[in-house]
Amino acid sequence: MRYTLRQLEYFVAAGEAGSIRSASDKLSISQPSISTAISHLEIEFGVQLFVRHHAQGLSLTGAGQTLLAEAKRVISMAENLHALAAETTGQVRGLLGVGAMITLAPMIMPELAYNFRQNFPASEIRQVAANHESLGEKLSKAEIDLVISYDLPLPPGIAFEPLASLPPHALVARSHRLAEMEEVTLEELAADPLILLDLPLSRHYFNELYEREGLRPNVYARAAEQEIVRTMVANGYGYTLANVRPRSDRALDGKRLVRLRLRGDHRPMVIGMAMRQGERQSRLLEHFILHCRASISDQTIPGMCPLDEG
């Protein structure tokens, strides 16, 4: 065998990214190194892996698509050797792929993963942030090992374990007419401009809250990025509804936000772990699951302030 796992990793990165530049950015490796690895593999295998488009990236050939899938399988098997070795020695080590809902990842994952590695320094957590549907697909394909997300629909064969509830609340600017209130109703807010977090399943959840009250929100703007929503609210464009409770009460531009409890009986979002069913779990994954259970609860969530804290 005259190729290396690292060359396969470079090939996979380029194939998934669709360009050498993007693969270079993702891996923090020089573009010539990736180009050289791909050229070496093409010579070694005797096939063309990519069609090069001038200034438009790469396209996998038919052979390239087949070899990409096999290369990913080989890399996965190689990573599993570390886990198997750890099993025989009783060590907790190896690489774990953990996905998180894109609205949760910036708050929860850095602290959660860091604390785990403090206890198990031989482990490595590869963090993946994406929307719920994409995470479910990656989990089904075994591209990641576990997902931190909400109790939303998942593909067949995926189990969800609830860990903590996040009731909805309102966010307003300090200058908002209701900013001095401790709690508000949806009816008091409904006529005001709403800045809606416009992710597919999130959108459905928030619209349901209004429908159950017989209300129709006055949607002023939509954004798929949570920080854009928060910054617009902090600048007085309107209010928003949210479930996550960042420890910082400031938007990215430094302006303050005010969190108001939402009066009424509203369905919370539930954070939990999603995992593949009927699969033997590695020692590393078992310990990470225990870590999640100990770290995420109604009393405490990494990166978030307590429920009763304003």
Last residue of a domain, one of 24, 47, 74: 74
- pLDDT for 83 beyond 70: no
pLDDT band, very low/low/confident/very high, at 7 (cuts 50, 70, 90): confident
CA distance 36 to 44: 12
**Can you give the C-alpha Rg of the chain in angstroms?**
23
- Evaluate whether residue 87 is within a structural domain: no
- pLDDT for 307 beyond 60: yes
pLDDT band, very low/low/confident/very high, at 143 (cuts 50, 70, 90): confident
- Please give the angle made by the CA atoms of 208, 185 and 183, to the nearest 5 degrees: 125
CA distance 267 to 74: 44
pLDDT band, very low/low/confident/very high, at 297 (cuts 50, 70, 90): very high
DSSP string, 135-185: HHHHHHTTSSSEEEEES----TTEEEEEEEEE--EEEEETTSTTTT-SEE-
- pLDDT tens for 204-253 read 899 999 999 999 999 999 999 999 999 999 999 999 999 999 999 999 99
- pLDDT for 89 beyond 70: no
- What percent of the chain stands above pLDDT 70? 94
- Give yes or no for a contact between 244 and 234, defined as CB atoms under 8 angstroms apart: no
pLDDT of residue 55: 65
* Count of beta carbons in the 10 Å neighbourhood of residue 26: 12
- Evaluate whether residue 81 is within a structural domain: no
- Give yes or no for a contact between 105 and 98, defined as CB atoms under 8 angstroms apart: no
- Is the same domain home to 157 and 177? no
- Is the same domain home to 253 and 280? no
- Is the same domain home to 203 and 274? no
- Give yes or no for a contact between 260 and 181, defined as CB atoms under 8 angstroms apart: yes
pLDDT of residue 76: 76
- pLDDT for 310 beyond 60: no
Last residue of a domain, one of 74, 104, 119: 74
- pLDDT for 90 beyond 80: no
Last residue of a domain, one of 42, 74, 106: 74
- What percent of the chain stands above pLDDT 90? 56
pLDDT band, very low/low/confident/very high, at 70 (cuts 50, 70, 90): confident
pLDDT band, very low/low/confident/very high, at 4 (cuts 50, 70, 90): confident
CA distance 21 to 176: 45
Sorted by sequence, the CB contacts under 8 Å of residue 115 that are 6+ apart come out as 291, 295, 302
Torsion angle in degrees (nearest 10) through CA of 286, 290, 292, 298: 150
- Evaluate whether residue 212 is within a structural domain: yes
Q: Which of 70, 77, 57 is nearest to 14 (CA)?
A: 57
CA distance 1 to 18: 26
Domain that holds residue 276: 93-165+270-295
Output the domain CATH number for residue 288: 3.40.190.10
DSSP state of 281: P
pLDDT of residue 69: 87
pLDDT of residue 88: 59
Q: Which of 209, 206, 241 is nearest to 226 (CA)?
A: 241
- Give yes or no for a contact between 251 and 259, defined as CB atoms under 8 angstroms apart: no
CA distance 14 to 60: 9
More confident residue, 3 or 210: 210
DSSP string, 236-278: TS-BEEES--BS--B-TTS-BEEEEEE-S--PPEEEEEEEETT
- pLDDT tens for 173-202 read 999 999 999 999 999 999 999 999 998 778
Average pLDDT, the chain: 89
- pLDDT tens for 156-168 read 999 999 999 999 9
pLDDT band, very low/low/confident/very high, at 87 (cuts 50, 70, 90): low
Tell me, rounded to whole angstroms, the distance of Cα 111 from its chain centroid. 14
31-43 average pLDDT score? 89
81-86 average pLDDT score? 62
60: part of which helix (H) or strand (E)?
strand 57-60
- Evaluate whether residue 225 is within a structural domain: yes
Site of tokens 């290396």: 4
* Count of beta carbons in the 10 Å neighbourhood of residue 146: 23
- Evaluate whether residue 245 is within a structural domain: yes
- pLDDT for 258 beyond 70: yes
97-122 average pLDDT score? 94
How many domains does the chain contain in total?
3
- Is the same domain home to 238 and 290? no
